[in-house]
């Protein structure tokens, strides 16, 4: 029974629980055992909610046994990136400055998964304040990739990706500011979706860059991804950027019929700078698309070459503003109570409370917003952002979706890029344009290069999640990617 449960889709586990073929307590216990076994070596979780998860599972079992109404995915555990506020459960953002912060409310996404009667099994590790591409920038230590424990899982949602790949949870939640769902999904061989900006509420998501951040699902397959999106998507009046759109039935749209579709292969993201092994898997996947009746043609989006530069002005500028609230006064870490002045206390708190990468981005952003440099840097970056959006709009006049590799490389070794910020930033070169434009995109595993997963990225116009999910579903069926890391078989 143990292996049977661990290897099943989340939606299948939910069905088994409702039919009383297995109890929520049994399922939760199996995944907690898995976490206890793997965590000392893997580091996917910052906080494991063992006690509260078992209590919630017992409540759900009692309701099912008595015939009471339960949520759609009752009893299915879920791992949540530690950037979403969880009432009564500490939310650290992997930072010393929030090491012991316990929110007094739930994020909207947490409310919605609770309404579906899912069980939060733990809060996953991440790059501090979601700033990074490797989950090495965590106050609690790095997460290791289940495919090779000497390699990174990607970032910043690396803990969620690693937990999924290692079978520690049937599905997970991440956040994506410049590729933080899709890049780790690629490096860990799972499915990850960044929804349209505003489709999923950001209320209760600790902000990094407010115009770029978006919450999304990280799953083992496309059907689970569609199901999770149905749960968390939808308008929220508490989020001023939330789209007033009706929830879609994404699962029903998984027909696999792609005939007559036109797909654009982004030339700027499928040539120089992409490893040959990654390109090989990518090209083979494009051939599979053609075999399914899809017309594939190359398309140029010329302003993409400026995306990285634009992003690393806009995102740090917004981070500089958002992270000003962590001052040691209202909540979180305070360096000492006997400082000679409030300014000294501020300085010591922020110096000791933030990690190197967070401080680097705060300084970058503060400089870009400073008098005399605002128009020269931030103003120009926003103009480039508009040009990238126009590139996408023009391409979508010709093509239904666009495709590229998700990451230019497979998982790199721990420590390989951590001392070279520019080299690390290039890890997100394929994913950043999507965030600047606010459109949806997802990554699915499309093969292995030297025994490590490669991701295939699909991008669509705003609110085209159903289309992207359907194409991904058809590809998933044809690719038949069923490889598992060694830790899953352990």
**Residues annotated as part of the active site:** 81, 156, 180
> Angle at Cα 129 formed by Cα 430 and Cα 166, nearest 5°?
70
Distance (Å, whole) CA 100 – CA 139: 12
Tokens representing residue 316 in the block: 């740090």
Q: Is the peptide bond before 156 cis (omega within 30 degrees of 0)?
A: yes
Asked if 214 and 194 touch (Cβ cutoff 8 Å), the reply is yes
Distance (Å, whole) CA 421 – CA 424: 5
């Amino acid at each position: 029974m143990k292996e049977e449960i661990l290897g099943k889709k989340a939606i299948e586990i939910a069905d088994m629980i409702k039919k009383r073929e297995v109890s929520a307590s049994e399922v939760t216990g199996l995944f907690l055992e898995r976490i206890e076994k793997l965590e000392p070596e893997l580091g996917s979780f910052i906080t494991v909610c063992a006690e509260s998860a078992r209590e919630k599972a017992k409540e759900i079992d009692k309701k099912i046994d008595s015939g009471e109404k339960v949520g759609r995915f009752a009893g299915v555990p879920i791992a949540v990136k530690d950037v979403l506020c969880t009432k009564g459960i500490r939310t650290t953002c992997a930072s010393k400055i929030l090491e012991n912060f316990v929110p007094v409310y739930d994020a909207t996404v947490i409310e919605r998964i609770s309404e579906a009667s899912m069980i939060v099994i733990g809060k996953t590790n991440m790059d501090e304040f979601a700033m990074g591409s490797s989950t090495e920038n965590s106050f609690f230590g790095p997460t290791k990739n289940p495919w090779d424990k000497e390699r990174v899982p990607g970032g910043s949602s690396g803990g969620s990706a690693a937990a999924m790949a290692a079978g520690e949870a049937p599905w997970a939640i991440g956040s994506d500011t410049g590729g933080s769902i899709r890049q780790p999904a690629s490096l860990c061989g799972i499915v990850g979706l960044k929804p349209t900006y505003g489709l999923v509420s950001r209320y209760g998501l600790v902000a990094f860059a407010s115009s770029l951040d978006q919450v999304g699902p990280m799953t083992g397959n496309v059907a689970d991804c569609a199901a999770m999106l149905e749960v968390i998507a939808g308008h929220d009046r508490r989020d001023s950027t939330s789209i007033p759109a009706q929830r879609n039935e994404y699962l029903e749209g998984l027909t696999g019929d792609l005939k007559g579709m036109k797909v654009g292969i982004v030339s700027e993201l499928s040539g120089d700078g992409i490893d040959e092994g990654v390109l090989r898997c990518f090209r083979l996947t494009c051939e599979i698309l053609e075999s399914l009746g899809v017309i594939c043609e190359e398309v140029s989006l010329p302003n993409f070459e400026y995306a990285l530069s634009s992003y690393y002005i806009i995102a740090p500028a917004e981070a500089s503003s958002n992270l000003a609230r962590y001052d040691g006064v209202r909540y979180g870490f305070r360096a000492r109570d006997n400082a000679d002045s409030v300014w000294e206390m501020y300085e010591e708190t922020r110096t000791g409370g933030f990690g190197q990468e967070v401080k680097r981005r705060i300084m970058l952003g503060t400089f870009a917003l400073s008098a005399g440099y605002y128009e020269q840097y931030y103003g120009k970056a926003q103009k480039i952002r508009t040009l990238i959006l126009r590139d996408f709009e023009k391409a979508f006049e010709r093509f239904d979706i666009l495709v590229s590799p998700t990451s230019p490389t497979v998982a790199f070794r721990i420590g390989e890029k951590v001392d070279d910020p520019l080299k690390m930033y290039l890890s997100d070169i394929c994913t950043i344009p999507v965030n600047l434009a606010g459109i949806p995109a997802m990554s699915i595993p499309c093969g292995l290069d030297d025994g490590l997963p490669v991701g295939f990225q699909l991008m669509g116009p705003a609110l085209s999640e159903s289309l992207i999910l359907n194409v991904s579903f058809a590809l998933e069926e044809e690719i038949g990617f069923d490889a598992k890391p060694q830790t899953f078989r352990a």
